[in-house]
Chain A
Amino acid sequence: MNLMQAFKMAFKSIASKKMRSFLTMLGIIIGVASVVIMVSVVQGMNKRSMERFEAMGDNKIEVYAYQYYETSGSVSELLYEYCLGMQDLVMGVTPQVDVWREITIKYGAKTFSTQNWDDWEKRISIQLGSDQFGVCNNYTLGGGRELSFLDIDKTNKVCVLGGGAKTLLFDFVDPVGETIFINNQPFLVVGWYEPSGVEGMSSMDNVILLPYTFNRTLNDNQQIQQYVVKAKSAEATTLAIAKLKAFLGGFITEGENGFFNVYSNNDWSSQVQEQSLMQSLVLGAIAGISLLVGGIGIMNIMLVTVTERTREIGIRKAIGAERKSIIVQFLIESAVICGIGGLLGIGLGSMGSLIAGKFLLQGMKLWPSATITVGAFAFSVALGVLFGLYPAIKASSLQPVDALRAE
């Protein structure tokens, strides 16, 4: 009996035992699909948090400083000058003010508000910053120019649009040179930033940047408390943090005339990375368990049919089948069932991953990793083949009469 014939016989046998074939496949389908989905979701989540960190930028130092009474001049100016003095370490510094007051933004017939909490995607926030705001927050200029030192010094009515705000206000028209109305005051658009490109991060793109000197009029002249300093490297970050702490400590005594804090999100990002590693381990373990359950399902259905198949093998031997051809037939049969089941599982898992990405990760296009997919596939198929082959190996070594006796 040649191989072609063995294949035909295996297919005939599968087709004639649809229920058992399907049940065997089901174990594999569920096992493979669940592993694929679980792992995809974990990898998607990791990718998402890494993307956020990358979008926010590395080596970003956040400075929080507050004085009960502004005695020694504005912290903004002092910090700005101090950072100019360590240009070997620092790329830029900016106040970071998210204006919480209600402010309306108008262009033509379109009106937006900083307080539109009902429709997050259409909320625009007003940010106050320096000429180095873009550098500090990892924005890339898409057109026009950044704010200039003069804009800040003279409190010029100019603004730079974030990628989301630009689309909301202007669609795809070039906004540079246009005038928008912020609380009914005309502001000239001088530039715009590229969108960060991270899904689900509209809050980072739906921004309008104004010179921080508008703090007086737009933010009730509240004291600016938050700053961002962008360092040149990870080492520079560590050094700059130490220097900034010493500098701020020079005129702010904690608890006496104010307080301050300096930290970088480098620490934070490594923490989150550790966390997502934990998540991977936990979800990976769950996925492993479902693969195991799927495997036990395969095992069960294969073993349950051992006696039925033992008799079949007895009959086949009685009419002249060699041991070899029986084993080859069962091998192909198992491999084909498990292969089809594995492929269906990968299909189902990929679909599940896409759906999970859509609903759990803000429409992220989630594709399963090739290694895990192949691994889960190989494991299930190996298990199926092993237990599919088991009755064949066992029964084909019996005397035909003993195999025939199986009830």
Chain B
Amino acid sequence: MLIDIRDLYKIYNEGQESEVRALDGVSLQIDQGEFVAIVGASGSGKSTMMNVLGCLDVPTRGEYVLNGTDVTSLKDKELARIRNREIGFIFQGYNLLQDLNALDNVILPLIYRGTSVFEREEIAMAALARVGMDDRAHHRPSQMSGGQQQRVAIARAIATHPPIIMADEPTGALDSKTGRHVLGILQQLYREGTTVLLITHDDGIAATAPRVVRLSDGKIVKDEHQEVEWL
């Protein structure tokens, strides 16, 4: 079991009039090498789910065991290590550093990982080549289209070869053709053995994942396997 959450809550303004239960007692198990789409309408708690699973946020209460480690008890240093080595993030808004070129953006997680200075560039270029962006290595994000930026962001996510990739609405800001290309890359990663979590509100996009978990009002309402359209 790679990801194991039990009875997880994320509650904002708890006990007050304006209390919001973004995650309301969720339990979910994901095995290594799965491709899971987490689907739900806006406000269903799916983004909160990814933030908690990705150690970008802490749950209000509940259990979260990642690869055998109880994450809820970890300090900043260990959480940083998990974010760096275990998980690669792909965001809807790309979240590239605007002042660095594509190559330096991809190198960044390798620096935090402590990869030797001699290997970094080679590894980063390989990751860029993977997403077909090696010819744009020295362009800044502002000089690239949305699809190109997202591909650089994917290269950054896979540069450290993390066992898990988490993508939060990765195609949300892209046209359908570029979106399909990005989804194709995720499926490719899945076929190579990476665990992929795809967060989306769009059932069409969720159709690319073999397992779909549907969230509504902070609760899991459906969890099923399906036939997949390979891109």
Contacts and interface: CB of A to CB of B under 8 A. Distances in A.
Interface of A: 1, 5, 9, 12-13, 16-17, 312, 314-325, 399-402, 404
B128 to A, nearest CB: 16
B109 interface: yes
Interface in B109-123: 109, 111-114, 117
Query: Chain B interface residue count: which class?
Result: 20 to 34
Contacts of A13: 99
B51 A322 contact: no
Contact of B80 (A312, A315, A323, A399): A323
A86 B56 CA distance: 95
B100 interface: yes
Contacts of A399: 56-58
B76 interface: yes
Contact of A320 (B51, B58, B83, B95): B83
Contact of A322 (B54, B76, B91): B76
Interface of B: 51, 54-58, 76-77, 80-81, 83-85, 89, 91, 95-97, 99-100, 104, 108-109, 111-114, 117, 156, 160
Given A400-B57, A404-B56, A318 B83 contact: yes
Given A1-B111, A5-B111, A401-B57, A320 B84 contact: yes
Contacts of A1: 111-112, 114
Given A320-B160, A399-B57, A401-B56, 8 more contacts: A1-B112, A314-B95, A316-B97, A316-B112, A319-B156, A320-B83, A321-B84, A399-B58
Nearest to B78: A322
11 contacts: A16-B100, A315-B96, A318-B54, A319-B89, A320-B109, A320-B160, A321-B84, A322-B112, A323-B77, A400-B57, A401-B57
A323 B100 CA distance: 21
Contacts of A400: 55-57, 83
Given A322-B76, A400-B57, A404-B95, A316 B89 contact: no
A17 B98 CA distance: 10
A43 B114 CA distance: 53
Contacts of A314: 95
Contacts, number: 71
A12 B99 CA distance: 9
A319 B56 contact: no
A319 B84 contact: yes
B89 A318 contact: yes
A400 B76 CA distance: 11
A12 B140 CA distance: 14
B190 to A, nearest CB: 21
Contact of A12 (B51, B100, B114): B100
Contacts of A12: 100, 104
Nearest to A321: B112
A24 B175 CA distance: 40
Given A16-B100, A401-B57, A316 B77 contact: no
Nearest to B80: A322
Contacts of B81: 320, 322
A322 B75 CA distance: 10
A400 B166 CA distance: 15
